[in-house]
A and B are shown apart, each in its own frame.
Chain A
Amino acid sequence: MTRTPLISLTEVSLGYNGQPLLREISFSVLVGEFLAILGPNGAGKTTLVRALLGQLRPLGGRLERAAVQGERLRTGYVAQSASLDPIFPFSVADIVLQGRLGRRHGLQRLSATDRDEAARCLDEVGLSHLATMPFRDLSGGQKQRLLIARALATQPHLLLLDEPTRGLDLASRHAILDLIATLHRRRGLTIVLITHVLAEATRLAERVALVHHGRVTSGATAELLQPDRLGRLYDMDVELLEES
């Protein structure tokens, strides 16, 4: 079955101040797929994320974001929780409600429907019992779950997660990955996972996009994640081990 692209990049060059960091990259994010964007630190993953979010205009090439049922493509973005300043006195409920701010007309107040939807998303990630708790008091794993709930509250067509397991312990990492897999399975949500952890990509993604030396290569996970390709990507010998 052919899937429709939600976002397609054709020979796109991305960078800052006219200097390309990624050159002539071509790949698509397809409806309902689980795509992992993989690459070493500093390879340009964040630049690619900014372009996928529509925050960075290509220096060249064509980047198209499809409309879904007549609506502008909505992307639920999940930032790394460590990047958020704990000085803000937000409660868990305040944060998840932020996902509804973009759904209002102008400066309208949030409605009862917004609050219900936010509560439902909080419940879906298993945090409804912590609704009144301050954000700063949550554990790393709980913060990441909350940010996923906030992204879900935007009612996204595409969920884009930027290294959601970074800095988490093993148990929290597994819990977050399980949650993402469940959302993909139950909701049929299109997911783009940015990571530099190979095991996460092989475990969850149908396709991967490898970012390396200013280029992006995409394809089926099993096909691309081979020792020789990965060795070239990371400039070292790579051996793949079976996960127990």
Chain B
Amino acid sequence: MESLWNLPFFQDALTAGVLLAIPCAILSVYVVLNRLVFLTATLGQCAVAGFGLGFLIGWQPSLVSLLLVLAVVPAFLRGGSGGTAPMDSVLGMLFVTAWASSILFIAGSAVGREEVVNAIEGNVLTISAGQRWLLAALAVGVLLLHRFASHDFLFVAFDPEMAASLGYHVLLWRLFLYGALGMSIGMTTRIGSIQLVFALLVFPAMVALRLSHDLRRIFMLAVGAAVAMSLLGVVLSFTLDVPTASTIVVLLGLLFCASLVVRRCRARL
């Protein structure tokens, strides 16, 4: 075990886990509070379809994936209230279309098959130095956004009419938040897998919201939970020789169950 800690690629995997966990955990609180879980799943699927499309047409897959996700975001800024089509139905249609498209793109492109399968199954173990820097930049960007504008993002989501009466441009603020979410999904899915990124964008906030009513603590708990489970997941997957992303997701699920138990015990005291 001691020698495992000295292996460079094990250290890289741990670093990748932490760098992936921090921005996703912060965003997870916004995702859950804004009720954007289904949008997040759909954007993740669009990201995978983007990789496939990139390979099929011979463009840089990550760039096509990011562009596709960012192109989809503006369609959902007005939520479900603006039109006659309910938002969840539109998201459902887009989700399944993106899913089917990714299968067709994979089938049409022999070169992309392995890459797209990697994006679905996840492989934080093979992260490159460039991808590490990309994740670090994303983590810094999300932290800065959160540090300077968390009150504004939450206020606009909580009471858009009051926010508008105070001079906030509600759609613009939503664009910032959804754009940050879309960019994070587009940048991380290829590194962490759609499964892991989606889990990191939902579970940490759900765990933290079971354990605290205080906003500052909720963000800290979410980051703590995501980082701890990512590290533990990497170690366990190495030790047991099982897929890393799936191990982290299962650990996050178990942590959520534990948070429910803790909450119930607290309520009884």
Contacts and interface: CB of A to CB of B under 8 A. Distances in A.
Contacts of A150: 162
Interface in B140-176: 148-149, 151-152, 154-155, 157-159, 161-168
Nearest to A52: B165
| Dominant SS among interface residues on chain B | helix
A34 interface: no
Interface residues of B, number: 26
A107 B149 contact: yes
Given A91-B213, A94-B215, A107-B148, A79 B159 contact: yes
A75 B167 CA distance: 10
Between A79, A97, A160, the greatest number of chain B beta carbons within 10 A of the residue's beta carbon is seen for A79
A84 B159 contact: yes
Interface in B212-252: 212-215, 218
- State which size class the interface on A falls in: 20 to 34
B215 A90 contact: yes
Interface in A45-92: 50, 53-55, 75, 77, 79, 84-85, 87-91
Given A107-B148, A107-B152, A134-B213, A89 B218 contact: yes
A98 interface: yes
Contact of B209 (A55, A89, A91, A160): A89
A85 B158 contact: yes
Contacts of A160: 165
B258 interface: no
A7 to B, nearest CB: 13
A135 B151 CA distance: 16
B151 to A, nearest CB: 6
Nearest to A136: B213
Contact of A75 (B157, B165, B168, B213): B165
Chain A to chain B: the 8 pairs with minimum beta-carbon distance, closest first: A102-B166, A77-B165, A107-B148, A53-B165, A134-B213, A88-B158, A98-B155, A55-B164
